[in-house]
A and B are shown apart, each in its own frame.
Chain A
Amino acid sequence: MSLERHVNKTSFDDVDYYEYEDIRLEHPSYLVLGLPDAGLVGALATKYLAMTTSMKLYGEIDSSRYLQPITVVHKSIPRSPLQLYINNDKNILALVSEAPLSIPAVYPISKSIVEYVSRKGIDYIISLSGIAVPNRLEIKKLTAYWLASTDKAAEIIKDLDIKRFDEGFIVGPYAVILKESRRKNINNLMILVESFYDFPDPEAAAEALQILSRITGVSVDVSKLLEEAELVKIQTRELMKQTRKALSEMKKKYEMQMPLMYT
């Protein structure tokens, strides 16, 4: 695809969405989010999804006000670290972020994502994330949890035998997206897989992808991700290090605490 000139530009509070193709989405449609978070679960899963299911680059998100002045170069094409991909069936968009969001960017970018989904008429936001557990090294079978902003979003996962996240804290962009979605009646389903906090966790990313596959019906073969897990971990160490710093500033470790509650 040529990225010479965008065909659409939409702005929400100084966050710009550039689209390089006019696309009519098929339904049900999904926006899969892969923002750097605990274990880089969402980022690894979404990047792998985009690369292995032949999704193509469809757009970018940029903001001179909230994002650092970074350009990512792939195959000599400069692009924003926040990229939108689309599948051939035109019903799945994937947001891949190659840099963590800083605290000042979290609210405006997260809110813009919800606005964009509303404007595009996308049926569901699926947030893929890790949830750090202190004994991750000892866990052989990872547990996944879900959280939904609406009953309709809960409906698509309720038969999958995955635990509902009942009590706790969620910190970071996914937390804001979930809150905003509930307020605006946007269907946001969040999948949280047990993971390392500050080591890339391709195993958890593979688990998240398998759940995504069961929700959307899109087949994703995760074997290559698991086979190449060690190389993936080497290549994503620096992103993990930057993400750890960003998460620490957001007080991400709140997620390991219990909220105020009565038994």
Chain B
Amino acid sequence: MIALTNIERAWATSALTTIFPSGVHARVRGADVIDIGASLEEVCQSVPARVALGLRAAVWLFAFAPLWFFRMCTLPHVDVEMRERIVLSLLSSRVYVVRQLAVLLKAFGALMFVAAAGVREGIVKREAVIQIGLGARAGDRHVA
């Protein structure tokens, strides 16, 4: 797989920081905590070629999606509000292949940024769990 170009890395960064933005929730950091381009490159080198190709196609799809909204530019060059609208439209596209490609990039984006130091801890942090009483065990047995 040929390495992602700098422009492809920038497109991927734009798409994934729009899907997973920072600053929305006090505990939950967004995708900008990682070097998205480098992480995606690493992923592309470790998955089968057809998947890497799919990820690359997804990056291009996000990059040029503004054209469908009559914006003659790539994703990083539209304003934040419009960018989110475009990204959401791809993730819920009526065209199955478009939707699947968008979800593929989103899924890998989630895997990449939650793995960064401190992100998981921030998301799962909670007050003590209140346990519900269960009472007697019931039900049929499934190991005789």
Do A and B associate with each other? no
